[in-house]
Chain A
Amino acid sequence: MNDLHRLTIHEAHALLKDKKVSSVELTRSVLKNLEAVDSKVRACMRLTADTALESAAAADKAIARGKASVLTGVPMIIKDNMCTKGVTTTCGSKMLENFIPPYDAHVVEKLKAANAVIVAKANMDEFAMGSSTENSAFFTTHNPWKLDCVPGGSSGGSAASVAADETIYALGSDTGGSIRQPAGFCGVVGLKPTYGRVSRFGLVAFASSLDQIGPITKDVTDCAIVLNAIAGHDKRDSTTVPLGVPDYTRALTKDIRGLRVGVPREYLVEGMQPGVRKAIEAAIIQFEKLGAKVDRKVSLPNTRYGLAAYYILAPSEASANLARYDGVKYGYSYRDTTSMWEAMEKTRQFGFGAEVKRRIMLGTYALSAGYYDAYYLKAQKVRTLIRQDFDKAFDSCDVLVTPTSPTVAFKIGEKADDPVQMYLSDVCTLPINIAGVPGVSIPAGFADGLPVGLQFIGKHFGEETLLRAAHAYEQATPWHTMKPAIA
């Protein structure tokens, strides 16, 4: 059978379960396509082809024994900031270029337990700081729809690999939009779950109170399938919530009649591309056709402080989280000196890239004596206000809909020297992390030949309603079936 790599999880599972194809065949097809297109897309940091075929063979045995879960034998890719035992985990940084974790992240454990087939680790912006994957210390990933454009970031490698059918699905992490924005740019589905829904154990920390792992998939059904597998309480992550995990696929009823859909006016921002606006307007009409009640008067007034608050909170936490990289214990280590302090300073000077150092300095400054109240504390207050905005909006709405990003994918190099322009790419996604609520980006058309992402926002632990709305829209539109011609 040809083109197995183009399958979704649920399609692949149906064939595997009925033994119409084997996991080894499926994995070979995925690897073959990956090898054909990744020289152009450059989504993968490291291939794990050998172990992938071993896992596939093991998965086939499990299937033969009738012990197949929906992810068994299905190839996938992991962002390179999730620890994989025995497999280099670089975080897109020279600092961890040769770091081989002695343990698996919680999500990796769960996937391995389900006999998933890991085919590669995905490229990313260094320490997940960036919106274009240009901040990877190693190479830039290209957008499969237009190779001279960025795939978004920081999970650009994960999103591009799914869009290019180099994998059936991928995992990303999202601190301010790092799953949703690249999913939007690459025309795939990307979910940031509620903070506390998925364990962060083994996810190399960027901003601990904002980071969350989530799926990047070819459709909403797959998104629900992967969330089923990775969600849940983990005693090693005290911020996970001991709530049961429902079967999210059962929420996908296609029926959204009477669903209250809010369109917060602050998210139809200035500087939004006309093509993006057009796609959003069309989506709103589609919702009305599906019987949803659209409310265009919803307001989240403190959204305008979101970007500023985010760039205090995230760098502050990052400044502490990245303090451990001092060249003493693991990773890059500058040794050409006899002074301990110089060795530590030079390690960080040469081991980190410019954006990482910028954020460490921002955060260090914001937490310093005399500045703490004006910056960090103030930003925490804004965080409370933003959260209250969402709580209030959800009094009258079941889900909110916004563009994922004000623009479609931009050209490689276009914003690389302008950090603030780059930060603005996440202006619609980062308030969702600040509030801790779930958000999903799904394909909603094209502008200038590039995908437009539509973001759905749900209540805390309201993933079921969120995915139901996204799924109903997806099933009524053709966007998720479209594939890039990579050239």
Chain B
Amino acid sequence: MKHQCDTDILSGVVKYETVIGLEVHSQLLTVSKMYCSCSADYASTPPNTHVCPVCMGLPGVLPTINRRAVEFTVMTALALNCSIPEHAKFDRKNYPYPDLMKGYQISQYDKPMSVNGYLVIDIEGRKKKVGITRVHLEEDVAKLLHRTTPEGESYSLVDINRAGMPLMEIVSEPDMNSPEEARLYLVKLRSILQYLGVSTGNMEEGSFRCDANISIRPEGSKEFLGKVEVKNMNSFRAVYRALEFEEKRQREVLDTGGRITQETRGWVDEKGITVSQRSKEYAHDYRYFPEPDLPPLAFSREMVEQVRAALPELPEAKYDRFVSGYSLTPYDAGLLTDSRPLANYFEECVGLAGKSGGEKDIAKKAKTISNWLLGDFTRLLNSSNTRIEASNIKPWHLVEMFDLVDRGTLSGPLAKTVFEEMFSSGKTASAVVAERGLVQISDSGELAIIVDKVIADNDKAIADYRAGKEASLTFLIGQVMKASRGKANPAVVRKIIVDKLGGN
């Protein structure tokens, strides 16, 4: 069959389409490791302290299956719309490397725990289904630490704490057509895992890892040109940049008459490039065969339905609820629900705000909370590299601040300053307001004195206002605010000015 290429007749340039598939490995938040009872909470523990004969792969040991890890995988698979077969099994994947304690990894080959799912991403306002090939369970490997002696001799140390950690592999279909789609897929997948409580989804710490397969082909063509696997990406941004780089590189190779080599390439973040690691000709033959030490897994339909019924609310449902229940814009609802901690934080705030006085309209309150969370709060969290759960500002802090604004104690413009102080010190809004004397001035008499001074100093603005220039009013209010160092109540100021100038 001859493949048609879309060629722009005028330029002679071939239009390409990008095809991306992602393989995600996520550590699971189980109490113990995958095949032994060692604690899985090994982060920041000294090397080789969370180990036992089983995860060290000593002669004679046998694995046992972590039930919780199996449950987590089934939960994930169901959340990703996969089907769960009646039977699954574990297999040995054989390859030698010093970080692999047994010389094989217990993984799943031809009978994984789930197949045929999908995940929906929103790309430019349209929904797109990305197929999930499979979700299966395996074990993590040890960590190698490469060192050099003062004499310049290199050597490596092995830390076995990570070996045997439960690792869930989620393989997508090659359904993504741009780096942005890949990024959106990862964001969505991570939020689902977080909602399920099965993973921290932390890419920087390595508990959520992504390898990408990318190839390009003439638009409309069905053939796959050389597929490139990209590794070593330690953040969502790195995935995006690596794919963008690779897309461009492959186009250039094809446009200059070259051929894409099927190979594995590593992303070098500092340089912003991918470099060849090994070509597929030397790919391993993993010699998979059924793990004789573990019995096959059986999933009764009852068990599957029980797990399905117990699934927590997922991002999509929450999104729908945020849009319909709080009248948030789809854009804001999307941003809030991308991260479970953020969505939870938002809901806690809304819940508290509903109980406090002031503004009665819950949608209005939700909008205010959303604006703060997505605006100043997110900005401060990002710049200080803080997770929202670990922030000084708890939901009730935020709601108390809104309360002060609602009651007129704190002005809107000053709230920002107060918030920054709260963020860094952990103090309540009322404490900051009291300490720094930032109580809003709503007293007409007090404000009238400032207004009079501003009117006296701004002849031109007064003239403009009288000539019907509305913008001048805003300017004058601004001058009063400035003179009061932000403490003036803008609404009261406005009324005084209008009254004094015999307003319209």
Contact = CB atoms under 8 A, between A and B. Distances in A.
A235 B102 CA distance: 20
Kindly name the residue among B60, B65, B285 whose own CB sees the greatest number of chain A CB atoms within 10 A: B60
A368 B60 CA distance: 25
A235 B64 contact: yes
A317 B292 contact: yes
20 contacts: A89-B59, A91-B59, A101-B53, A207-B292, A208-B292, A237-B62, A238-B62, A238-B294, A239-B295, A316-B289, A317-B292, A319-B94, A320-B94, A320-B102, A324-B101, A329-B56, A329-B101, A340-B98, A344-B96, A368-B285
Interface in B16-67: 53, 56-65
Contact of A376 (B58, B96, B289, B295): B289
B92 interface: yes
B158 interface: yes
A16 interface: no
B287 A200 contact: no
Interface string A196-229: 0000111111011100000000000000000000
A323 B102 contact: yes
B296 to A, nearest CB: 11
Interface string A361-375: 000100111001000
Contacts of B294: 238-239
Given A209-B292, A235-B64, A238-B293, A328 B98 contact: yes
A103 to B, nearest CB: 5
Given A316-B289, A326-B96, A326-B103, A101 B62 contact: no
Interface string A327-346: 01110000000001000100
A320 to B, nearest CB: 5
A91 B60 CA distance: 11
Contacts of A329: 56-57, 101, 158
A101 B59 contact: yes
Report the contact-size class of chain A (Cβ under 8 Å from the partner): 35 or more
A-B pairs with lowest CB-CB distance, top 4: A323-B103, A209-B292, A367-B287, A208-B292
Contacts of B292: 207-209, 239, 317
Contacts of A364: 287
Contacts of A324: 57, 59, 101-103
A61 B456 CA distance: 108
Kindly name the residue among A82, A326, A368 whose own CB sees the greatest number of chain B CB atoms within 10 A: A326
Contact of A204 (B59, B94, B287): B59
A4 B199 CA distance: 63
B245 interface: no
Given A208-B292, A320-B287, A340-B156, 9 more contacts: A99-B59, A102-B58, A201-B60, A204-B59, A239-B295, A320-B289, A326-B96, A326-B98, A329-B158
Interface in A396-438: none
Interface in B268-304: 285, 287-289, 292-295
A265 interface: no
B96 A323 contact: yes
Report the contact-size class of chain B (Cβ under 8 Å from the partner): 20 to 34
Nearest to B287: A367
A344 B104 CA distance: 15
Nearest to B93: A320
Nearest to A322: B103
Contacts of B285: 368-369
A278 interface: no
A320 B104 contact: yes
A367 B94 contact: yes
Contacts of A200: 62
A330 B58 contact: yes
Contacts of A239: 62, 292-295
Given A237-B62, A320-B289, A103 B53 contact: yes
A183 interface: no
Nearest to B95: A323
A77 interface: no
Contacts, number: 101
A405 B443 CA distance: 109
Kindly name the residue among B56, B98, B292, B295 whose own CB sees the greatest number of chain A CB atoms within 10 A: B292
B94 A101 contact: no
A272 to B, nearest CB: 32
A169 to B, nearest CB: 21
Interface of B: 53, 56-65, 92, 94, 96, 98, 101-104, 156, 158, 285, 287-289, 292-295
Nearest to B160: A329
Given A320-B94, A323-B96, A82 B60 contact: yes
A99 B294 CA distance: 26
Contacts of A102: 53, 58
A71 interface: no
A261 B310 CA distance: 55
Contacts of B158: 328-329
A238 B63 CA distance: 8
A367 B104 CA distance: 13
A59 interface: no
A250 interface: no
A344 B156 CA distance: 14
A56 interface: no
Contacts of B61: 201-202
A238 B60 contact: no
A96 interface: yes
A105 interface: yes
B59 A201 contact: no
A479 B101 CA distance: 48
A87 to B, nearest CB: 13
Contacts of A32: none
A200 B61 CA distance: 8
Nearest to A377: B289
A238 B94 contact: no
A96 B62 contact: no
B293 A208 contact: yes
Contact of B287 (A82, A325, A340, A368): A368
B480 to A, nearest CB: 74
Contacts of A317: 289, 292
B111 to A, nearest CB: 14
B347 to A, nearest CB: 42
A236 interface: yes
B192 to A, nearest CB: 30
A96 B59 contact: yes
Nearest to B295: A238
A83 interface: yes
Contacts of A369: 285, 287
Interface in A116-141: none
B64 A236 contact: yes
B121 to A, nearest CB: 35
A106 B101 CA distance: 22
A4 to B, nearest CB: 33
Given A83-B59, A91-B59, A368-B287, A320 B53 contact: no
A207 B98 CA distance: 23
Interface in A283-338: 316-317, 319-320, 322-326, 328-330
Contacts of A344: 96, 98
Interface in A66-81: 81
Contacts of A207: 292
Kindly name the residue among A96, A101, A320 whose own CB sees the greatest number of chain B CB atoms within 10 A: A320
Contacts of A96: 59
Nearest to A95: B59
A99 B102 CA distance: 16
